[in-house]
Amino acid sequence: MRSGQKLHNLKQAARTLNFLTEHEIDSYPDLESRVAEITAASTEAAAALKAAERRLAEMAVLIKDVTTCKELRPLVQEYQRAADKKQFRRKHEGTLILYEAAAKALKEQGFQKLPDLYALKNEYKQLAEQKDQMQRQYNDAKRQMQEYGIIKQNVDGILRTAPGKEQMQER
């Protein structure tokens, strides 16, 4: 082993020991349990983040559908009052199709009347803020998981090489 390699290994072992001391990890089972806790927290944070992202996506579609219905309702009312519905429909077919698709989507979700757009946007904003907080928590948990993973690898490496060297010296 080169002297540069030995120096690197010694520095790595010192950093590992400092980390273990700072985090009050006294034994290998303590380290394993801490790694398991952090991994579980990271997994839980990832699941919560994905659930929030799914809900935000659903809400974005809901807000779009409600907005479409509100904006196009006057045109639909005009269509219902029109004397020549066929001609009116041909003239405004694209817009009417958009309204009908949005209204159908809302009806399929169980809405009999339009939800309050202001309340939906507020809920979306709050959920987006919660998602941002969850993202930060997930990033912290992921960083910790990587940090503890490296420390555990270092400890495993130290424990693996130590018995092998003793056996070599005995021969």
Domain locations in the chain? 29-146
Q: How far is the C-alpha of 87 from the C-alpha of 92, rounded, in Å?
A: 9
Q: Is the dihedral of CA 78, 80, 82, 84 positive or negative?
A: positive
Tell me, what amino acid is at 116?
Answer: D
Q: Can you give the pLDDT at residue 170?
A: 40
Q: Can you give the pLDDT at residue 169?
A: 41
Across the range 134-143, mean pLDDT stands at 94
Output b/e per residue, 26-39; b: 16+ Cβ within 10 A: eeeeebeebbeebe
**What is the average pLDDT score of the chain?**
89
**Which of the listed ranges 16-25, 79-88, 121-130, 150-159 does the model predict with the highest average pLDDT?**
121-130
Q: Can you give the pLDDT at residue 162?
A: 58
Q: What pTM was estimated for this model as a whole?
A: 0.74
Q: Is the pLDDT of residue 6 over 90?
A: no
List the one residue out of 4, 35, 7, 41 whose CA is nearest residue 20. Answer: 35
List the one residue out of 55, 69, 26, 7 whose CA is nearest residue 155. Answer: 26
Q: Can you give the pLDDT at residue 168?
A: 39
Q: Which two tokens stand for residue 25?
A: 């990890």
Q: Dump pLDDT digits (tens) for 159-171.
A: 886 554 444 344 3
